[in-house]
Structure 1
Amino acid sequence: MGKTNRSKFLLFLIISFVLILAACSGDDKAKDSGSDKGAEGGDEKKDGMYSIDDFSNVKTNEGEAIDGGTITFGLVSDTVFEGTLNWNFYSGAPDAEILNWFDEGLLTWDENYVYTNDGAATYEVSEDGRTFTFEIGDNVNWHDGEPVTAEDWQFAHEVIGNKDYDGPRYNSDFTNIEGMEEYNSGSADTISGIEVVDEKTLKITYIESTPSLLTGSIWSYPLAKHIFGDMAVADISSSPEVRQNPIGFGPFKVDSIIPGESVTLTKNDDYWRGAPKLDGVTVKVIGSSTVVQELETGGVDLISDFPVDQFPDNAEMSNVEYLGTIDRAYTYIGFKLGTWDAEKNVVAPNPDAKMGDVELRQAMWSAVDNTAVGERFYNGLRWNATTLIPPSHPEFHDDKNEGRTYDPEAAMKLLDDAGYVDTDDDGFREDPEGNPLEINFISMTGGDTAEPLAQYYVQSWEKVGLKVNLEMLEFNTFYDRVGNGGEDDPEVDVFQAAWGVGIDVDPSGLYGAEALYNFARWENEDNERLLKEGRSPEAFDLAYRQDVYNEWQQLMVDEVPVFPTLYRALLSPVNNRVLNYAIGDGTGVYLSDLAVSKEEAVKAE
């Protein structure tokens, strides 16, 4: 790729709770007192507010590294992890937390989410921006010693593109590859746009050159063909090679698994970046109610996602340093508007969906006060979300768009005007045809805040006359009910969930008509147009792409197939003995750099 063309590619980059809320004033603001030092890395505020800006994302090293040593990583979850331990098939965040330790993508990215040539593979791009040539390093090997090959990378695309594939990855990122749709339909035996040049060289040609190709839409996770090549595609995700004996090429390799509870890993001496400094890592599931105890006693050395509602009471824990960054994530409320067509792999809208009235959805957003939730329940470490592109992507997050502000009077007017009125004087509104309206709402268990928070939303909606029935579900059951396996529970009308967004700003994988993760099952012509425009060659112009995504953010505010509730600070407490650890993107600190200064974890005083 020429220097001018490469420059063009880079231009665009760069509960009791209810009582608490009742006491909230809409004018409450966080006040920085400038006094009272709190946690290491954070300043405590007199009114109990904190800011993500008060934290560093890189650990302060204390002492000198010893040779070897092991650490324990706490995976905070109030349910077991599913155990689909392969990037090509996993769907839940707990599995991803485990995968990060032993497997990785072939490409890495910088702090601006741009692919670099510092990863396990390098790349070059053709002058027209459509053909990428990848070169896998000669020292990049699977944990069993077999080289990671171009055929492994090609094989991952063939599996995801296979009609029998049962994972969530197949979407517009794949259909943009030449010949992929023909391969998926069965009219072609191979993917014409993917060529194995030699053992370590792969060439992929895309239909359209898009800016997303440099910021996350390239699938960079190979699949070991020498292990999975003879398996039926439909059998891979449930195979022992995924569930009990997973393989990768990352810094640590899986030694043993207690299903749903823990994973023990040992160092990979053959890791391409060099042998890890640690001898091993244990990943163990810990409940949200035991996080603090585990940290104080040294039962775990670090946690990647500390429950921020517990931070104020534990900000001065003496044996840890809290790291913090803006999470590439948000929580949201979603409305069921259709089902998933598993045959066609597309959304099938339901014109008679209970939540199909846009005024009903708009009213339900206006009825909830997420500013109060963030300030009084999360002490400012989660805050009111306005659009579906979070501030973790500052170039594209429209900070001028206020979303739908808290206004219960406006919510009631919307409902009145749309014909949702209380015709039998029972305190709850009927639908426009005069039929009883009951809305079934599901949310996830987890920590002390989960059910009170869900109850707050229920009570907020009741205050504007809507009868909402709440059901709390554990993580895996929740996602089964909401449609993660492609089967949508018809009893679910509204759900509360969270998204961890990718490094690429393109929201097609969550809200496109071909995205399994489009759990609202919403389809809209303007949505599809804007998503396409955001991936178009014209979108290499940063201003153009910003305008497209600003329009898309406003469309989602207007149509409300889902609405964001809270943006999130990611807090990671790290034991004082741990060295060389960082969170966030583009830090240049890798898991193979991790070390410890003491044999045993430091305990709180």
Structure 2
Amino acid sequence: MRKTSWSKALLALLLVLLLALAACSGGSEEGEAEGDSGGSDSNKSEDSGKKLYSIDDFSAEKTNEGEAIDGGHLKFGLVTDTAFEGTLNWNFYSGAYDSEVIKWFDEPLLADDENYMYTQDGAATFETSEDGRVFTFTIRDNVNWHDGEPVTAEDWAFSYEVIGHPDYNGVRYGEDFTNVEGMEAYHNGEADSISGIEVVDEKTLKITYKEATPSLLTGGIWPYAMPKHIFEDIPVAKMAESPEVREHPIGFGPFKVETITPGESVVYTKNEDYWQGEPKLDKVTLSVINPTTVVQALETGKVDTVHSFPVDQYPDNAEMSNVEFLGQIDMAYTYIGFKLGTWDKEKKQVKPDPNMKMADVNLRKAMWHAVDNNAVGEQFYNGLRWNATTLIPPSHPEFHDSENPGLAYDPEKAKEILNEAGYEDVNGDGMRENPEGEELVINFASMSGGDTAEPLANYYIQSWKKVGLNVQLLDGRLQEFNTFYDRVGQNGDDDPKVDIFQGAWTVGNDVNPDGLYGRDAIFNFPRYASEENDKLLEEGISEASFDVEHRKEVYNEWQKLMVEEIPVFPTLYRSELVPVNNRVQNYSIAFNWYGRHEISVTQEEPMKAE
């Protein structure tokens, strides 16, 4: 068996030393464009001797080998060092791990294609009015909830009514909903119903939008229904914590939830009445697998596959004999965020505060210049993560501005900026004070998880220390996943101790970044807002932006603005790697894959590594 982890102290020391050596050779040049190919070719890095890999060498589709048996039991691993939260409903979940649990038993009514456009291939079809404002949806007759009740237009409308309700306490309400006619009046308690939503008959729903936008067909329509017959007697404020969400949720997907061990595992059985056909598997078990033991779990056959494999462990396990590694450019990026305000719960929008510790853009700019993300991508991830430049990742190649270089690694430039902005070492301790001569300690929140989490956080801290900035881990330790997002504000409660944070975003099908950086987006964790940002985000979904070239120009300007104002700076674009046991057939990690009912296996138990 291959080694999968070292002593954390030794690993931290070696990685920091490797990064220091790589940094001495210089970072990316100013103006160097990041392509959307996914990183470097598979060869040796001239600086470090490390083998680099390219995401171009992977496929998103599993190769089928052998003949499938009837039935079978798939074992699926959720790779995390923490429990999944267990909010198992599309309307209320907020964590990525919960979404992985939900995907096995529930799904959207609308399918999409490789360009993220809604198609007519899902559980519902649709027609659009000439002006693009009115959508008429028809749910297929054979789409039923797991309890046998049909999925109806009332269920789909009910989902909108729950999210728009004044007592709704989830994170979904935003411009995708406020664009529905009558939604704001309903949300404000001024109307008892949503005028723009009409239930035509049992299977037909009509939604009228205030404005036709290019986002509507790429994720701007909420495609999830909610079983009204189950939830209609539960107060909206209590739904998220109800047993119907946490203990025995239902959907209309290919598998039914049989049992849940909170935060640890879920057992599913096949939904024989699934609208696309009876699933080939009899059973699926999802269980939490710690990142430090994921290789062992795969090699011994404890799991067939995982939702995401830690790419830093790939080089030592690339030749694992019992799996095939699938891969694609991830719809995600990691980033460093700066707290620039708070969340106004009453107004449900960000409240910028010019007195925040990180309010000076010069400080933020210097911190970006101080880190070498090319070296991070090579030394920590062997090229399977790579330097990020803008906040629209290359998973959306039509809108990712590959000509925008971001800010290059240049620690001398960082020092120069800090000097000119008045951040000087007043007392001679090697650390800079703020322009008022006061001690400057920057509290850094970073997540636990995997062997690289701690050395990576330490690398950033050391990089900032080299330019004279005293950055300390929040509470002197890494934060576990749920605690981290609570403290940075996923529920609207911003911990005042957090000054900067390292996070990661999975972006949606729609390129529109308003859901992460809009003034009314609770996921806008830096609490950033500006008139220019408002203007560009609005223009990006305007009628003029139905012209793709115009929309590109708008989002290029937005990416440029984010490089200038730096509420966050992107650090790495990411590869998604997923190992799948050789006994598994018809498996895919494509973003528009809705074929879990087709998964099959060729033998009763997972193959073990030789």
Q: Does the TM-score normalized on the shorter chain lie above 0.5?
A: yes
- Contact 1:103 1:248 survives alignment (8 Å): yes
Q: CA deviation at 1:189?
A: 1.1
- Corresponding position of 2:17: 19
2:419 counterpart of 1:413: no
**Residue 219 (structure 1) aligned to one of 211, 219, 222:** 222
Q: Residue 198 of structure 2 aligns to which amino acid in structure 1?
A: E
Quick check: 1:496 aligned with 2:499? no
In structure 1, the residue matched to 2:34 is none
Match of 2:556 in 1: 550
RMSD: 1.3
What does residue 189 of structure 1 align with?
Answer: 192
Question: For residues 124-135 of structure 1, what are the structure 2 equivalents within 5 Å?
Answer: 124-135=127-138
Aligned to 2:5: none
Contact 2:488 2:498 in 1 (8 A): yes
Q: Percent identity?
A: 67
The CA distance in 1 between the partners of 2:313 and 2:541, in whole Å, is 40
Look up the equivalent residue of 1:100 and give its one-letter code. K
Match of 1:38 in 2: none
Shift of 1:312: 0.3
Asked if 1:159 corresponds to 2:162, the answer is: yes
Letter aligned with residue 367 of structure 1? A
Equivalent pair of 2:43/2:51 in contact (CA under 8 Å): no
Q: Is the Cα–Cα contact under 8 Å of residues 30 and 47 in structure 1 kept in the other structure?
A: no
Alpha carbons 1:81, 1:94 under 8 Å: kept: yes
Structure 2: distance between partners of 1:413 and 1:201: 63
Report deviation, 1:188: 1.1
Kindly report which structure 2 residues correspond to 1:524-535, keeping only aligned pairs within 5 A, or say none: 524-535=530-541
Q: Which amino acid aligns with 2:366?
A: A
Q: Classify the secondary structure of the residue corresponding to 1:231.
A: coil
2:378 alignment partner AA = E
Q: Secondary structure at the match of 1:246?
A: coil
8 A Cα contact 1:31 1:46, kept in partner:
no
Deviation per CA, 1:18-67: give whole Å up to 9, x if none: 11101213379956459xxxxxxxxxx98410000010111000101100
Q: Is the 8 A contact 1:65 1:597 kept in 2?
A: yes
Residues 460-487 of structure 1: CA deviation (Å, up to 9, x unaligned): 1111111111031100101110111111
2:402 aligned with 1:399: yes
1:47-94 CA distance string (max 9 Å, x none): 410000010111000101100001100100000000000011001111
Moved over 2 A (4+): 25-34
Show structure 1 runs of 5+ residues with no match.
1-14, 35-44
| Residue 301 of structure 2 corresponds to residue 303 of structure 1 | no
**1:406, distance to aligned residue in structure 2 (A):** 0.4
Q: Encode CA deviations 1:227-265: one digit per residue, 9 max, x unaligned.
A: 111111110000011001011110001000000100000
Residues 50 and 493 of structure 1: CA distance in aligned 2, closer, same or farther (over 3 Å): same
Q: Which residue of 2 aligns with 1:480?
A: 486
Confirm whether residue 319 of structure 1 aligns to residue 322 of structure 2.
yes
1:146 to 144, 149, 153: 149
The verdict on how the C-alpha distance between 1:265 and 1:461 changes in structure 2, with shifts beyond 3 A counting, is same
Distance across 1 between alignment mates of 2:232 and 2:393: 39
- What SS does the corresponding residue of 2:104 show, helix, strand or coil? helix
**Does structure 1 retain, via aligned residues, the 8 Å contact 2:50–2:379?**
no
Counterpart CA distance in 2 for 1:581 and 1:46 is: 35
Structure 2 vs 1, CA of residues 382 and 146 (structure 1 numbering), >3 Å: closer, same or farther? same
Give the 3-state SS of the residue equivalent to 1:498 in structure 2: strand
Equivalent in the alignment of 2:569: 563
Between the two proteins, the alignment pairs up a number of residues equal to: 580
Tell me the CA shift for residue 585 of structure 1.
2.7
Unaligned 5+ residue runs, structure 2? 1-11, 29-38
Which among 359, 375, 378 is matched to residue 356 of structure 1?
Answer: 359
TM-score, normalization by structure 1: 0.94
| Residue pairs, 1:195-344, within 5 angstroms | 195-344=198-347
Query: Partner residue of 1:37?
Result: none
Letter in 2 for 1:527: N
**Alignment pair present for 1:468 and 2:474:** no
Aligned-pair distance for 1:342? 1.1
Aligned to 2:9: none
Q: Give the TM-score, by structure 2 length.
A: 0.94
Instruction: Give the whole-Å Cα distance in 2 for the aligned partners of 1:204 and 1:520.
Output: 33
Contact 2:27–2:375 (8 Å) recurs in 1: no
**CA offsets, 1:420-477, max 9 Å, x none?**
1111111111111111111111010001000110111111111111111103110010
- Aligned with 2:609: secondary structure? coil
Q: Counterpart of 1:422 in structure 2: which amino acid?
A: D
Per the alignment, residue 108 of structure 1 pairs with: 111
- In the alignment, the residues of structure 2 paired with residue 125 and residue 81 of structure 1 have an alpha-carbon distance, to the nearest angstrom, of 39
CA–CA separation in structure 2 for the residues paired with 1:335 and 1:380: 26
CA displacement at 1:540 relative to structure 2: 0.5
* Cα pair 1:152 1:223 within 8 Å, conserved: yes
1-side partners of 2:519 and 2:308: how far apart?
Answer: 31
In the alignment, the residues of structure 2 paired with residue 294 and residue 541 of structure 1 have an alpha-carbon distance, to the nearest angstrom, of 49
Q: Give the whole-Å Cα distance in 2 for the aligned partners of 1:514 and 1:365.
A: 26
- Distance in 2, Cα, partners of 1:234 & 1:250: 26
Alpha-carbon distance in 1 for matches of 2:265, 2:458: 32
Change in Cα spacing, 1:454 to 1:32, as seen in structure 2 (3 Å) is closer
Q: What's the CA shift string for 1:82-117, capped at 9, x where partnerless? A: 000001100111101111100011001000000000
Displacement, 1:586? 3.8
> Does 1:591 pair with 2:596?
yes
Q: CA deviation at 1:162?
A: 1.2
C-alpha distance in 2 between matches for 1:559 and 1:74: 39
Conservation of the 8 A alpha-carbon contact between 1:77 and 1:287: yes
Q: Answer yes or no: is 1:122 the counterpart of 2:125.
A: yes
Deviation of 1:343 after TM superposition, in Å, equals 1.3
Partner of 1:576: 582
Asked whether 1:369 is paired with 2:367, we answer no
Q: Is the 8 A contact 2:27 2:408 kept in 1?
A: no
